[in-house]
Structure 1
Amino acid sequence: MRYFIDFSYFGASYHGWQRQPNANTVQQVLEGALSTLLQDNTTLVGAGRTDTGVHAMQMIAHFDCVGLENIEHLIYRLNAFLPNDIAVNKIFRVRDDAHARFDAVQRTYMYWIVRKKNPFYRDRAHYVKHPLDVELMKQGASILLEQTDFECFSKSNTDVKTYRCTIKSAKWECDGEKLIFEITADRFLRNMVRAITGTLLDLGLGKSNLDNLEAIIKSKDRSRAGASVPAKGLYLTKVLYPRNIYVTKG
């Protein structure tokens, strides 16, 4: 039987989600906990990858096992077993062919910025000390909705077949001390959100303008876009799936 596991993690201590040799990753820790409690070698397939230091308010992965009799008890035991920076929220049955990565239809990320030095945000947000033209940054975000090819924001030397993505929303909002960029799309390229955020920050800092932003996107040239902002301010916040992949009781 196949199950989806919904979990959160604070990424400061991890080299991202995906298992890799000689590095501490979220996948490695969570697979180890599941394998121990289920007394079986359990492999997780995640909805995507997050880089070193990136956080997730909601990440989804799938795994297979014979069948779970008491899911709530398993969640309780997992949370007691796991370190404090990883938490399991839900586990639910899905179709046997459901895939955490390929069946996802929408993902949402947030990027947190603080404009006043605050030690409590040291590993949680990017501190920008210079004044920002937030209205111009909002206008830049709206331009993204008119585009479909985002090669200029993609990490170089990736093995993707297409750089086309459909961005469904992109907006800046103030939330107390934080300035938050939230973006939702059907898919994201590697490093895309951090590169977009850095490029929009260039607008706010007066290093670029709206015409230049459109030219950057059309150029498909990563070197013309802004620098990637630090990973510590990035959060995967939601992964959405079609309803027909879930198995309901009865």
Structure 2
Amino acid sequence: MRRIKLTISYDGTNYAGYQVQPNGNTIQAEIEAVLTRMHGGKVKVVASGRTDARVHALGQVLHFDTSLGMPADRFVKALNAMLPDDILVKDAEEVDASFHARYGAKRKEYRYVVRQEDDPFRRHYAVTVTYPLDVERIRQAIRLLVGTHDFTSFSVTKAEVVDRVRTIYAAELLETEGELIFRFIGSGFLYNQVRIMVGTLIEVGRGKYEPADISRMLAARDRRVAGITAPPHGLYLWNVNYEKVD
């Protein structure tokens, strides 16, 4: 058996998320269905992590094992010919059997896009916030998320994981083409963590919280002290990196 690593992008608008589930179509189900047809038997794919309904990805990473002898790069054309147009395989390469898309990930980058003007062509890909936001206040606040912290206040109350300590290597607010882009690079992220951080930062920009309140929220380790959970359709899994962090 050979192990193949795929890098894919997808528009999550019409999906119930990445991971297979009983009700609703998913990214994983679409990819596994195509691979199963190619192999004549069930093929399971493993992803770097799941994304929720309506969340997008530009650099999701998967792996699967294959008995087929075709060159790895041929999987790109073969899969794209059979997958829906809103899922794209960008790259395929053969990797060592020890490679694991989930457990081998060292850093993940997420981006969240906010618009302050309505645009019907961006309604599925950015969240519109019509009230004024103080960008400088947001920049002061977002810096306080960098570092190793217990992110309990920025995760769902009933999260399955016990250890909620994560490291954020970079967090910044970018401005481009009428959009605000929240960019986070971290060792990993808790369920809904990015959406809760963004929702809270938006409320900082609106004046509900002070920038320094971020430190208080982290210390509290209590979901009730942080802000709202931002909607899913502004969120993108941007990149997954497997190189060792210095």
> What is the aligned partner in structure 2 of residue 34 from structure 1?
35
- Post-superposition offset of 1:38: 2.6
Q: Does 1:60 align with 2:61?
A: yes
Compared CA separation, residues 146 and 98, structure 1 to 2 (3 A): closer
Conserved 8 A contact 2:145-2:214: no
TM-score (norm 1): 0.94
Report the equivalent of 2:238.
Answer: 237
Aligned twin of 2:189? 188
State the distance in 2 between where 1:202 and 1:67 align.
52
Matched-pair contact (CA < 8 Å) for 2:141–2:212: no
Mapping 1:102-121, distance limit 5 Å:
102-121=103-122
Is contact 2:3–2:65 with CA below 8 Å preserved after alignment? yes
Which residue pairs with 2:135 in the alignment? 134
Distance 2:156 2:94 in 1: 35
Aligned-pair RMSD on alpha carbons? 1.2
Seen in structure 2, the aligned counterparts of structure 1 residues 48 and 171 have a Cα distance that, compared at 3 Å, is same
Cα separation, 2, equivalents of 1:129 and 1:238: 29
Range moving further from structure 2, 31-40 or 191-200: 31-40
What stretches of structure 2 of length at least 5 have no aligned partner? none
Structure 1: gaps of 5 or more residues: 244-250
Local SS of the residue matching 1:193:
helix
Which consecutive segments of 4 or more residues in structure 1 shift more than 6 A? none
- Shift, 1:77, TM fit: 2.0
Contact map agreement 2:147 2:167 (CA 8 A) in 1: no
**Equivalent AA in structure 1 for residue 87 of structure 2:** I
Tell me how far 1:78 sits from its aligned partner.
Answer: 1.1
Alpha-carbon distance in structure 1 between the residues aligned to 2:66 and 2:240: 23
User: In 2, distance between residues paired with 1:179 and 1:242?
Assistant: 29
- TM-score normalised according to structure 2 size: 0.95
SS for the counterpart of 1:170 is strand
Q: 2-side partners of 1:108 and 1:116: how far apart? A: 26
Identity of aligned residues (%): 35
Give the Cα separation in 1 of the matches to 2:13 and 2:173: 24
Tell me how far apart the structure 2 counterparts of residues 47 and 33 of structure 1 sit (CA, whole Å).
19
Equivalent residue, structure 2, for 1:125: 126
Q: What residue is the counterpart of 1:151 in the other structure? A: 152
Structure 2 residue aligned with 1:248: none
Q: Distance in 2 between matches of 1:50 and 1:63?
A: 18
The AA in structure 2 aligned to 1:198 is: G
Q: Distance in 2 between matches of 1:44 and 1:146?
A: 32
Segment drifting more, 68-77 vs 191-200: 68-77
Residue aligning to 1:170 = 171
Q: Describe the SS at the equivalent of 1:210.
A: coil
Which letter maps to 1:190? Y
Q: Relative to 1, partners in 2 of residues 1:222 and 1:77: Cα closer, same or farther, differing over 3 Å?
A: same
Q: 1:72 to 1:98 in 2, by over 3 A?
A: closer
Displacement, 1:148? Answer: 1.2
The aligned runs of 1:3-18 (5 Å cut-off) are 3-18=4-19
1:211 aligns to 2:191 (yes or no):
no
Residues 153 and 68 (structure 1), Cα distance of their counterparts in 2 relative to 1, 3 Å cut:
farther
| Correspondence for 2:97 | 96
Q: CA deviation at 1:23?
A: 1.6
Once structures 1 and 2 are overlaid, which stretch shifts more, 61-70 or 135-144?
Answer: 61-70
Q: Which moved more, 1:180-189 or 1:154-163?
A: 154-163
- Equivalent position of 1:199 in the other structure: 200
In 2, distance between residues paired with 1:147 and 1:69? Answer: 43
* Residues 1:220 and 2:221 aligned together: yes
Matched residue, 2:82: 81
The 1:215/1:138 distance shift into structure 2, 3 A limit, reads same
CA distance in 2, matches of 1:222, 1:54: 22
Distance 1:144 1:122, change over 3 A: same
Q: Which has a greater percent of strand?
A: 2
